[in-house]
Amino acid sequence: MKIDLSSMTITKAHEAMKNGDFTAVDLAQAYLDEAKKRNPEINAYLEIYDDVIEQAKVADEKIAEVKKSSYAKASKDKQRSKDFPMLLGIPFAIKDNILIKGRIASSASKILENYRATYDATVIEKLKKEGVVFIGRTNMDEFAMGGSTENSAYGVTKNPHHTSRVAGGSSGGSAAALAMDGALAALGSDTGGSIRQPASFNGLVGLKPTYGRVSRSGVMSMGSSLDQIGPFGKTVTDAEIVYNAIKGQDALDGTTISDATYSPKRVGQQKPVIGIPRHFLTGDGIAKDVLANLDESLEHFYQLGYEIKEIKLPNISHALPAYYVIMPAEVSSNLSRFDGVKYGLHKDGVDGIDDYFETRGRGFGKEARRRILLGTYVLSSGYYEAYYNRANAVRRIITQDFLKAFEDVDVIITPTTPAPAFKIGEKTADPVVMYLEDIFTVTANLTGLPAMSVPSGFSEIEGKKLPLGLQMIARHGDEKTLFEVGKEFQGEMIN
């Protein structure tokens, strides 16, 4: 049978395979064909794996075992549901900074061009236990540094909705893989908006979980106090399914937390109360279409019966400058390990120190070098207190502002991005203009709060519809409310 990939979801695929409408091999082949057809133009994948069908055959064997064992039991449906993981046989795209044992993981950098992972990231271990099918590794900004996937050493990823425009970043390849129907789900990493922004640009759902809810073991670090791994999905339900599969404490990541770490309590009795920081939406650079779409979204919430309150986040304007001090500092520390000695690219110089300079100078791209230099500067003697410590003090103040706001509301809503996807090359000449793309997203990383982008409409440009996204932020550990509100906004069934 012909599989309609455009309307496919994890839930639909799961039910179809459970009922025998098609096999995991059929599903994998459909996505593999589309990926191979569209990737030469889109450049979502850096590598499409050559064992996809073999992986799918293993998934079909597991499905057959589940059916055989479940039919032998009296409580068939209950047993089948228990033994048939939701992600069994589901085709996944994986960002190139997440390790899969035996496969290349380059973080889209020349310095790790041929590096093969020696172990699985914890999230990959979890997905393998679920029985997913890995389609390939996806393009990204080098070491996750960027908001457009133009900083990849292997070429820009184009937006499937309009190929003259960016797919977003740094997880642009993962988002584009889904948007072009080259996978059914994907993983990305989010340090300042790197899941939510490309989700918005590609008309997808993208979740940055609470800091510590998903293990970072086996993920190449950019900003260790900011990074989180999260899912892309076509629906809120799909994102929730993937999140539930990958979350949890991990002995290999001391920052991970349990379900019991936070006990969020709602203000709203019937429905969550929505907060809107109007004062933060009056600055230059926010497109009129984005503001109009936000008003339409709020009206939709009002019609659904939600209470909407205006809130104040007094220090939110300082979030972006604080982020662009803290993040480069952590980048400088984390990328010091790539020295050409233990693994990855090695270039010979006249002596040991020159080897180091030659390797890093040739191996890192322009944006990576810029952030390493900035981070080294703010951590240097005489400037540490003036820049890095002060930025962390601002970070704590901003966090307190959000916690204060959550005394009156349950979800804070903003646009995900200040404008729809911009043209390839439009902002590369001015790093500051590019950094301003993160204005709505960096706060969730600075505060550790969970945030999700959901599709909210379109902006028509050059005769084509470019997706827009709505960002929802909740209390620490309250992904449940994000999923509930997101599903109702999208018209999905609430569990």
CATH at residue 67: 3.90.1300.10
Which pLDDT tens digit goes with each residue over 171-182?
999 999 999 999
Evaluate if residue 221 carries a pLDDT over 80. Answer: yes
Residue 180 lies in a domain: yes
Characterise 34 by phi-psi region: left (phi > 0), alpha (psi -120 to 50), beta (else): alpha
Which pLDDT tens digit goes with each residue over 366-419?
999 999 999 999 999 888 989 999 999 999 999 999 999 999 999 999 999 999
Looking at residue 463, its pLDDT comes to 87
pLDDT band, very low/low/confident/very high, at 359 (cuts 50, 70, 90):
confident
Which of 241-245, 283-287, 340-344 has the least mean pLDDT? 340-344
Looking at residue 74, its pLDDT comes to 42
Burial label, 198 (beta-carbon count in 10 A; 0-12, 13-18, 19+): buried
Give this prediction's pTM.
0.96
How far is 6 from 180, CA to CA, in rounded Å? Answer: 9
Evaluate if residue 264 carries a pLDDT over 80. Answer: yes
Looking at residue 80, its pLDDT comes to 45
pLDDT band, very low/low/confident/very high, at 76 (cuts 50, 70, 90):
very low
What mean pLDDT, rounded, does the chain reach?
94
Evaluate if residue 351 carries a pLDDT over 80. Answer: no
Range of the domain at 99: 5-246
Which pLDDT tens digit goes with each residue over 131-181?
999 999 999 999 999 999 999 999 999 999 999 999 999 999 999 999 999
Evaluate if residue 357 carries a pLDDT over 90. Answer: no
Share of the chain above pLDDT 70, in %: 97
Question: Quick one: which of 195, 234, 205, 177 has its CA closest to 41?
Answer: 177
Residue 394 lies in a domain: no
Mean pLDDT of 446-462: 96
Looking at residue 71, its pLDDT comes to 57
Which of 209-223, 231-245, 257-271, 393-407 has the least mean pLDDT? 257-271
Residue 136 and residue 146 in contact, taking contact as beta carbons nearer than 8 Å: no
Looking at residue 73, its pLDDT comes to 56
Looking at residue 82, its pLDDT comes to 58
Evaluate if residue 445 carries a pLDDT over 90. Answer: yes
Question: Quick one: which of 120, 107, 20 has its CA closest to 67?
Answer: 20
Residue 165 lies in a domain: yes
Residue 475 lies in a domain: no
Active site residues: 95, 170, 194
Looking at residue 388, its pLDDT comes to 95
Mean pLDDT of 9-28: 97
Number of domains in the chain: 1
Looking at residue 362, its pLDDT comes to 85
pLDDT band, very low/low/confident/very high, at 348 (cuts 50, 70, 90):
confident
Which of 35-44, 185-194, 196-205, 338-347 has the least mean pLDDT? 338-347
Looking at residue 430, its pLDDT comes to 92
Residue 352 lies in a domain: no
Residue 343 lies in a domain: no
Which of 59-63, 91-95, 105-109, 381-385 has the least mean pLDDT? 381-385
Contacts of 72 (CB under 8 A, 6+ apart): none
Evaluate if residue 476 carries a pLDDT over 80. Answer: yes
Three-class HEC string of the chain: CCCCHHHCCHHHHHHHHHHCCCCHHHHHHHHHHHHHHHHHHHCCEEEECCCHHHHHHHHHHHHHHHHHHHHCCCCHHHHHHHHCCCCCCCEEEEECCECCCCCECCCCCHHHCCCECCCCCHHHHHHHHHCCEEEEEECCCHHHCCCCCCCCCCCCCEECCEEEEECCCCCHHHHHHHHCCCCCEEEEEECCCCCHHHHHHHCCEEEECCCCCECCCCECCCCCCCCEEEEEECCHHHHHHHHHHHECCECCECCCCCCCCCCCCCCCCCCCCEEECHHHHCCCCCCHHHHHHHHHHHHHHHHCCCCEEECCCCCHHHHHHHHHHHHHHHHHHHHHHCCCCCCCCCCCCCCHHHHHHHHHHHHCCHHHHHHHHHHHHHCCCCCHHHHHHHHHHHHHHHHHHHHHHCCCCCEEEEECCCCCCCECCCCCCCHHHHHHHHCCCHHHHHHCCCEEEEEEEEEEECCEEEEEEEEEEECCCCHHHHHHHHHHHHCCCCC
Residue 398 lies in a domain: no
pLDDT band, very low/low/confident/very high, at 72 (cuts 50, 70, 90):
low
Mean pLDDT of 103-108: 98
Residue 373 lies in a domain: no
Question: Quick one: which of 123, 219, 119, 234 has its CA closest to 182?
Answer: 234
Looking at residue 103, its pLDDT comes to 98
- Name the residue with higher pLDDT: 118 or 351: 118
